[in-house]
Amino acid sequence: IRLQAQRHSMADPLDIPKYRNAAHCAYTVVREEGFGALYRGVGLTSLRQASNQAANFPTYHFLKGYLQRTQDIKELPGYQSAIIGCISGAMGPLVNNPIDIVKTRIQKTPNPEGLSGWARFKEVNGAILKNEGWRAFYKGVTPRVLRVAPGQAVTFAVYERVSSWLDTNSDTFKLTAAAK
The tens place of each residue's pLDDT in the chain, 180 residues long, gives 555 556 554 555 566 667 778 888 888 888 888 887 787 768 888 998 999 999 999 999 999 999 999 999 999 999 999 999 999 999 999 999 999 999 889 888 877 877 888 888 899 999 999 999 999 999 999 999 999 999 999 999 999 999 999 988 877 766 555 555
Structurally, how many domains does the chain consist of? Answer: 2
Q: Are 2 and 21 in contact (CB under 8 A)?
A: no
Residues 99 and 21 in one domain: no
Residues 124 and 75 in one domain: yes
Domain that holds residue 17: 1-39
Distances (CA, A) of 169 to 74, 81, 177: 17, 21, 13
Reported as half-sphere exposure (CB side, CA atoms, 13 A), residue 54 has a value of: 8
Residues 13 and 95 in one domain: no
**d(Cα 125, Cα 34) in Å, to the nearest integer?**
24
Residue-by-residue DSSP string for 152-170: HHHHHHHHHHHHHHHHHTH
**d(Cα 89, Cα 37) in Å, to the nearest integer?**
31
Residues 24 and 55 in one domain: no
Residues 54 and 5 in one domain: no
* Residue 76 amino acid letter: L
Which pLDDT belongs to residue 68? 98
**d(Cα 91, Cα 145) in Å, to the nearest integer?**
8
Helix 117-132 / helix 78-108 crossing angle, nearest 10 deg: 100
Residues 13 and 28 in one domain: yes
List of long-range contacts for 105-110, beta carbons under 8 Å, 24+ apart: 106/40, 106/41, 106/44, 107/1, 107/2, 107/40, 107/41, 108/1, 108/2, 108/5, 110/32, 110/33, 110/37
Residues 4 and 55 in one domain: no
Residues 19 and 106 in one domain: no
